[in-house]
Amino acid sequence: MNVQIILFIVLATVAAISSVVMITRKNAVISAVFLVLNFFALAGLYLLLNAQFIAVVQVIVYAGAIMVLFLFVLMLLNTETEHKLFVDKRAIKFFAILISFFVFVQVAYLIFHGSPSRTLTPDEAASVKAGTIQAIGQQLYTNYIIPFEVAGFLLLAATVGALVLAKKKFE
């Protein structure tokens, strides 16, 4: 057992457990905190995958910006906790969990059936190179320049849209 495997087991366990905890907490703020934890674990996994740039962005954008936004809204609205999580419509909730589990089993089956590890021969050096900000930046500013510009425009539109929607009154 080398360090990588230990790290993977730890991070994967944290990610899995935190996601389950997140959807079962009645208090939305606690859910949010566990989601942040999940994001951090994911960032660690990205590092294990040599995706340094994405790992950093994950922490800054997701765990930093987006989740802070969520927490702001939560505190702003100050909503009540969900007391009756499993009380009413129990059948539907059971059905929902069953279907989710069923889908998971199916996807897992497909993954093992396809077993991509057998067909791929990973190249550590190429993988490290692919994860650098230089490689990603080169792609972004050459082949993906138009999607990049469109994404910028989308963010602008989202900013304006959020402002308009969240304004006190439509005038």
Interface of this chain with other proteins, residues 68 to 127, rule: CB under 8 A: 69-70, 73-74, 76-77, 79, 82, 85, 92-93, 95-97, 99-104, 106-113, 115-117, 120, 122-127
Q: Estimate to the nearest angstrom the gap between the alpha carbon of 18 and the chain centroid.
A: 12
**In contact, 101 and 78? CB cutoff 8 Å:** no
Shortest distance (Å) from residue 171 CB to other proteins: 14
Residues 30-69 that bind other proteins (CB under 8 A): 31-32, 35, 38-39, 42, 45-46, 48-51, 53-54, 57-58, 61-62, 65-66, 69
Closest to 11 (Cα-Cα) out of 41, 50, 33, 35: 41
Q: Indicate which single residue of 10, 139, 145, 149 sits in contact with other proteins (rule: CB under 8 A).
A: 139
DSSP conformation class of 168: S
Which 5-34 residues touch other proteins, going by CB under 8 A? 5, 8, 12, 15-16, 19-20, 22-23, 28, 31-32
Q: Smallest distance from the beta carbon of 97 to other proteins, in angstroms?
A: 5
State the number of binding residues for other proteins (CB under 8 A): 92
Coil, helix or strand at residue 85: coil
**Smallest distance, Å, CB 58 to other proteins?**
8
* Pairwise CA distance, residues 81 & 71, whole Å: 14
56 Cβ partners below 8 Å, 6+ apart? 43
Which residues, at least 6 apart from 128, have a Cβ–Cβ distance to it below 8 Å? Answer: 50
